[in-house]
């Protein structure tokens, strides 16, 4: 049985813990590895390693830190498909989907390569007579990342490259459900020349997370995951006087105007709703049809019904299995609740099974119409291949519907009318908006900006806000007196 190691002080080590978590292949639930629950001593060692490394790393030239990221980016690109294959096998994602996961992470590393420009401060000469004021951007210290199962390459790469490029050291606690991908990312980081202690990886569950949240040496915590865990991490971290950015739940709506391009709408909604088995915080889980666009629902259902789940290396597969049997049972329960509460199930994937892999976590594509706001399938984040269709009479009703929802991660509108698009983007209370784009995830020179119960914190991920999250500003006010300048041909200036 493959044992997942810890990374502490630049060395991959076998944990001495007697507690392990099984890592399973979602396609058949066979155990493929075991991740240890790091011991108290191992947690302390990881934190001490990061603390010690920070003493020297913070003083490394910013251009040298950027060059580390350049070497890392080159290695990630060289091993792109290899990482994607590891990712596919432990998450069940199709190979193309896994490659996208890796590539989006590489794009954040490319942003980290630009760290000298991102770390620039500000200056004003003569704020008063003979007095100048300027600011520096300096690292915090030991930072922590707690990442989810659904993007085991992209989301760790959201975090540690930018934090480390900014001069910090980092402790990563990846999802216990797919730790092999982050381990490979770390191997390549060491190969790129990362000094010892710069990146540490520990495994486990709530106990290990709480250890990091309560420890006096950790300064900032980044998290992506569920609402209850996100709320706990945010509250615990801030109660312990740490910075926190916690990305949590979502219920993303796509508004379909009658003047939209029908073919583009239907093609985009298929992938945006059931792609990656719906296990994306930016998945479109509610399609809001305005006016006559409701007539497109039957055709959309027919198209989604043709999407077939399959194995990661099946080029015909639209998506793979859910991550675990627990996740599958939750999705099946929500589908059943939708039926019981009166929604019309146009496409039912609850009985899907892949021949030869009947023990896997399979759920087929599912579409509901006649969904109302009081239904559980509307209120809950399903995190499965399920699309809810809602009908309203006007754009104003659509905006009010989306704004009433407690989540605000992403939304989109499909329309040919610029005024309608502008009204939507201006009035909607959601952090990320797509116009004729179904899943508006920004590239890393912008920031990932969820709102409401989709995010707890003040500064968002990557982009300029990510750098600000992992740094603090020091402002200096300086005055020098010309009378102190030595005079004459033999003048000397003391450097003391």
d(CA 396, CA 394): 5
Q: Is beta strand 218-224 parallel, antiparallel or unpaired with respect to 142-146?
A: parallel
What are 479's strand-pairing partners? Answer: 131
Cβ atoms of 101 and 154 within 8 Å: the answer is yes
Pair of tokens at residue 73: 């980016």
Pair of tokens at residue 69: 């990221």
Q: In terms of Cα–Cα distance, which of 353, 253, 282 is closest to 27? A: 353
Starting at the edge strand found earlier in the chain, the sheet holding 218-224 runs: 11-13, 6-8, 199-201, 169-173, 142-146, 218-224, 243-247, 455-456
Could you give phi then psi for residue 276, rounded to 5 degrees?
Answer: 60, 25
Residues in the chain: 496
- What does the DSSP 8-state code read for residue 312? T
Give the angle 177-180-185 at the CA atoms, nearest 5°.
125
d(CA 409, CA 253): 10
- What does the DSSP 8-state code read for residue 441? P
3-class SS shares of the chain: helix, strand, coil, % to 5: 40, 25, 35
CA of residue 425 relative to chain centroid, distance: 23
d(CA 232, CA 91): 25
Pair of tokens at residue 494: 């003391």
Burial of residue 55, with CB atoms counted within 10 A of its CB: 0-12 exposed, 13-18 middle, 19 or more buried: exposed
Burial of residue 163, with CB atoms counted within 10 A of its CB: 0-12 exposed, 13-18 middle, 19 or more buried: buried
Pair of tokens at residue 157: 């790469």
Question: Is position 388 annotated as part of the catalytic site?
Answer: no
Pair of tokens at residue 428: 């909607």
For 26-54, the DSSP string reads TTTTEEEEEEE---HHHHHHHHHHHHHHH
Cβ atoms of 78 and 191 within 8 Å: the answer is no
Pair of tokens at residue 429: 């209370």
The active-site residue out of 37, 281, 388, 389 is 281
Q: In terms of Cα–Cα distance, which of 271, 205, 210 is closest to 235? A: 210
Cα→Cα distances 148→21, 52, 97, 314, Å? 15, 28, 16, 25
End-to-end Cα distance, the chain: 62
Q: Catalytic residues, which ones?
A: 281
């Amino acid at each position: 049985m493959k044992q997942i190691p810890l990374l502490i002080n630049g060395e991959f080590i076998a944990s001495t813990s007697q507690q392990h978590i099984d890592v399973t292949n979602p396609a058949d639930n066979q155990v493929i590895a075991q991740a240890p629950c790091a011991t108290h001593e191992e947690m302390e060692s990881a934190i001490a390693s990061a603390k010690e490394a920070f003493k020297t790393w913070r003083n490394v030239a910013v251009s040298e830190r950027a060059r580390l990221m350049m070497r890392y980016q080159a290695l990630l690109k060289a091993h792109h498909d290899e990482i994607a294959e590891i990712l596919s096998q432990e998450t069940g994602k199709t190979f193309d989907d896994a490659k996208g996961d890796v590539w989006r992470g590489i794009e954040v590393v490319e942003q980290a390569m630009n760290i000298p420009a991102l770390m620039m401060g500000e200056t004003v000469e003569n704020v008063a007579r003979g007095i100048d004021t300027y600011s520096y951007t300096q690292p915090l210290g030991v930072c922590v990342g707690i990442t989810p199962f659904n993007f085991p390459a992209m989301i760790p790469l959201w975090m540690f490259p930018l934090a480390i490029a900014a001069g910090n050291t980092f402790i990563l606690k990846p999802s216990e459900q797919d730790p092999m991908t982050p381990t490979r990312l770390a191997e390549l980081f060491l190969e790129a020349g990362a000094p010892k202690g710069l990146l540490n990886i520990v495994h486990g569950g709530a106990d290990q997370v709480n250890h990091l949240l309560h420890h006096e040496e950790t300064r900032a915590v980044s998290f992506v995951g569920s609402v209850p865990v996100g709320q706990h991490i945010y509250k615990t971290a801030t109660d312990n006087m740490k910075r926190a950015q916690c990305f949590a739940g979502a219920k993303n709506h796509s508004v379909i105007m009658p003047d939209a391009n029908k073919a583009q709408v239907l093609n985009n909604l298929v992938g945006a709703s059931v792609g990656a088995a719906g296990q994306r915080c930016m998945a479109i889980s509610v399609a809001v049809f305005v006016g006559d666009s409701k007539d497109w629902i039957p055709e959309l259902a027919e198209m989604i019904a043709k999407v077939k789940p399959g194995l990661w290396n099946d080029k015909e597969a639209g998506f793979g299995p859910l991550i675990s049997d627990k996740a599958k049972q939750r999705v099946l329960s929500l589908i059943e609740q939708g039926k019981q509460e009166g929604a019309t199930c146009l496409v039912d994937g609850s009985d899907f099974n892949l021949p030869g892999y009947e023990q896997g976590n399979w759920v087929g594509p599912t579409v509901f119409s006649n969904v109302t706001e009081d239904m559980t399938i509307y209120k809950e984040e399903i995190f499965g291949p399920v699309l809810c269709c809602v009908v309203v009479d006007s754009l104003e009703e659509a905006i009010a519907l989306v704004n009433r929802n407690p989540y605000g991660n992403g939304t989109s509108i499909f329309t040919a009318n610029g005024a309608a698009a502008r009204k939507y983007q201006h009035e909607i209370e959601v952090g990320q908006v797509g116009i004729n784009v179904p899943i508006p995830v920004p590239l890393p020179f912008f920031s990932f900006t969820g709102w409401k119960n989709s995010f707890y914190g003040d500064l968002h991920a990557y982009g300029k806000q990510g750098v600000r999250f992992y740094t603090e500003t020091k402002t200096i006010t300086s005055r020098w007196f010309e009378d102190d300048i030595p005079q004459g041909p033999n003048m000397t200036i003391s450097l003391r």
